[in-house]
Amino acid sequence: MSDKDDGATTRPDGIVGEVKRKLIDTKRKWAEQGRGLTGQTARPEAERLPPGQRLVTNFPVLDLGIQPAVATSDWELTIAGAVENPLTLRWADFQALPQVRLTSDIHCVTTWSRYDNAWDGVSAFALLDLVRPKPEVLHVLLHSYDGYTTNIDLAGFADDDVLLAHSWQGEPLTREHGGPVRLVIPKRYFWKSAKWIRRIEFSSVDAPGFWEMRGYHNEADPFTEERYS
């Protein structure tokens, strides 16, 4: 699949099936209907649960109808675009980078939140130090092994709680939750935290991703209810 393929076109392996079409149609309707919107805002320093969210203790699974099986021996992460030092990391390279544990909350646009998730992995800071984005970079484009794409501004990617996680609650990330490696961006709705990450591209130009092109907000701040565009 090319980097420009958003996962919505038909492929020989059948990635776009009836289940996926129904899922996409349902979420498009949510955007059209403004599902979950309360019209309220909150300050994260004052309220932990964003408006319109409900607290859960399980970890719901959401994807585009396919969960790619990517062995650590086959996994690669390419970091490219407007950077001084483009590179491709294999699993051993990724594990050799400085490792961090960060605990954060999850806020999903489908209105559930989960507190105190402990993630182990490599911080966005470490990756930025490695590749050194050029001065004109303002945006980060994210590509996954299932064809999913999403986007975030550079400031959001460079936040101190952002990481590429390989473990959750002390255990390796399972396939259903984006293993072997997923992005975690706690201050945005969880669709920005791309599962099965395979490519990070730095750019001076924004490029809306899969859900952003289907009625979802480009910024995705849970505390100001940036669910839909």
pLDDT band at 23 (very low <50, low <70, confident <90, very high): low
pLDDT at 102 over 50: yes
pLDDT at 2 over 50: no
CATH number of 18-224: 3.90.420.10
Cβ density class 63-97: b for 16+ within 10 Å, e for less: bbbbbbebeeeebebbbbbbbeeeeebebeebeeb
pLDDT band at 8 (very low <50, low <70, confident <90, very high): very low
pLDDT at 209 over 60: yes
Query: What count of other Cβ atoms lies within 10 Å of the Cβ of residue 35?
Result: 16
pLDDT band at 9 (very low <50, low <70, confident <90, very high): very low
Radius of gyration for the chain, computed over Cα atoms and rounded to the nearest angstrom: 17
Q: pLDDT value at position 215?
A: 93
pLDDT, average across residues 52-77: 94
First to last CA, the chain: 27
Q: pLDDT value at position 13?
A: 42
**pTM of the model as a whole:** 0.84
